[in-house]
Structure 1
Amino acid sequence: MCSNDSTKTEPQPEYASFENAAEFHGHVCPGLSSGYQVAIAAMKALGVTRPKDEELVAIAETDACGVDAIQVVTGCTAGKGNLIVHDYGKHVFTFYCRESGKAVRAMTCLEEFMPQKPEMDVLRPKVFSGTATEEEQTTFYAMVNQVSKAILEAPSEKVVKLEFVQMEPPKKARIFTSIPCGCCGEMVADAKTREHEGKQICMPCFLKLKE
């Protein structure tokens, strides 16, 4: 929950472990490690714990690996409507506490953790396309784990740059009424439909009719 009362003395909150984030994400990587650091640093800066609902909102400027760590640690998820993704390709995250009205912008600073990045960049497409040799795969994942470990073990201020910002409260998640699509019959949120020949139809059907 969010709190702006700095006079209260409370036990330090427990955060989801990195192992929890890695299990959710499926593998360990620098993006996940930096996202984990970002999530904890931002929550500490705002003085918040993991919310039950929309008390905390995360706005991600990427849809990459770090977002999964954000979801696991902060409880900001797409399903609850308190995770907003604007994919600008930037590892930047803004967190807003509805109770205090405070917001913090977190940017990852990973340059010093990527000394072997040129070699990783050469190996990455080969590994992910399935053309890398067994030796190249071993080398690549050893470097990935090394960088990930270094990011996790570093002081948060070396990984995350935090800045308090002013912003308007994000809109709360909307609750829609489901209606049957006038074309395929499948249930769809009423606000997500399009009108065609007097019928409310879902977007996939609407796009097919426009082809």
Structure 2
Amino acid sequence: MEKTDKIIPFSEVTKFHGHVCPGSALGYRVGEIAIHKLILPRAIDEELLAVVENDSCSLDAIQVVTGCTMGKGNLIFKDHGKQAYTFMNRKTGEAVRISLKDSIDSVDPEFAAARQEAFSNRATEEDKKEFERIKTRLSEKILDAPVEDLFKVERVEMEFPEEARIFKSVRCSKCGEMVAEHRARVENGKLVCIPCFHEYSRN
């Protein structure tokens, strides 16, 4: 399963993520495609920007392969529940969108049934071992499959978001904890954090 001929070996993803799974394999391929299409090494600061539309295991792989992270501000999460990923090169203005053509289960039809059995109340140790075997097999298939079999890859026109900014912190007047000023809310003329904010509603 090692991909030493690629940008970063898959073992680095596994080391970071903690285990091998179809999601991390998928994210590895996505990151690999993005770098090849945009002709970039791993991200230098915010030169490469990733917009991801799910919070699955694939995100760990994308961070390792591309260097895009939430902490640096060049990984933006949109909770759309879609296996779709858009990468932008700030230097060239190019952008590419990579989306999964079909369900991961379609790559290995035995996977869904094995997963359901392994997580059922009646699952035996043998069922769990079989699931791990099929999960590894599916991960290997994803790593080795031709790009066009798995993904739709297209050049897109995107408006680039501004680079990450550092905001001042202010103190919440209710809990006393510090909060970035752009996330603070005003309640009765005082600054409060989001958890302390009582949103007005007449419903």
TM-score in same-fold range (> 0.5): yes
Instruction: Output aligned runs, 1:96-115, within 5 Å.
Output: 96-109=88-101, 114=106
Closer/same/farther in 2, CA of residues 129 and 183 from structure 1, 3 Å limit: farther
Matched, 1:84 2:96: no
State the partner residue of 1:185: 176
Closer/same/farther in 2, CA of residues 200 and 134 from structure 1, 3 Å limit: same
State the partner residue of 1:9: none
The answer (yes or no) to whether the contact 1:114–1:147 under 8 Å persists in 2 is no
Instruction: Output aligned runs, 1:117-128, within 5 Å.
Output: 117=109, 119-128=110-119
Q: Aligned partners of 2:120 and 2:197: how far apart in 1?
A: 35
Q: Please report the TM-score for the alignment, with normalisation by the length of structure 2.
A: 0.86
Deviation at 1:153, TM superposition (A): 2.0
Q: Aligned partners of 1:153 and 1:112: how far apart in 2?
A: 14
**What RMSD over aligned residues (CA atoms) do the two structures have, in Å?**
2.5
State the partner residue of 1:168: 159
Closer/same/farther in 2, CA of residues 54 and 128 from structure 1, 3 Å limit: farther
Q: Deviations over 1:57-110 (max 9, x none)?
A: 111121111111111111111111111111222211110001100001112245
Q: Please report the TM-score for the alignment, with normalisation by the length of structure 1.
A: 0.83
State the partner residue of 1:153: 144
Partner amino acid, structure 2, of 1:201: V
Partner amino acid, structure 1, of 2:195: P
Q: Aligned partners of 1:129 and 1:27: how far apart in 2?
A: 21
Deviates more, 1:123-132 or 1:157-166: 123-132
Q: Aligned partners of 1:120 and 1:157: how far apart in 2?
A: 21
The answer (yes or no) to whether the contact 1:37–1:159 under 8 Å persists in 2 is no
Unaligned runs of 5+ in 2: none
Deviation at 1:19, TM superposition (A): 1.0
The answer (yes or no) to whether the contact 2:111–2:138 under 8 Å persists in 1 is no
Partner amino acid, structure 2, of 1:67: L
| Alignment match of 1:93 (pick from 81, 85, 100) | 85
The answer (yes or no) to whether the contact 1:57–1:170 under 8 Å persists in 2 is no
Matched, 1:54 2:37: no
Matched, 1:36 2:49: no
Deviates more, 1:58-67 or 1:102-111: 102-111
Aligned pair count reads 197
State the partner residue of 2:66: 74
The structure, 1 or 2, with the larger RCO (C-alpha pairs under 8 Å, 6+ apart) is 1
Unaligned runs of 5+ in 1: 1-12
The answer (yes or no) to whether the contact 1:38–1:108 under 8 Å persists in 2 is no
Percent identical residues: 45
Instruction: Output aligned runs, 1:7-18, within 5 Å.
Output: 15-18=7-10
Q: Aligned partners of 1:111 and 1:206: how far apart in 2?
A: 40
Deviates more, 1:41-50 or 1:172-181: 172-181
Q: Aligned partners of 1:131 and 1:58: how far apart in 2?
A: 41
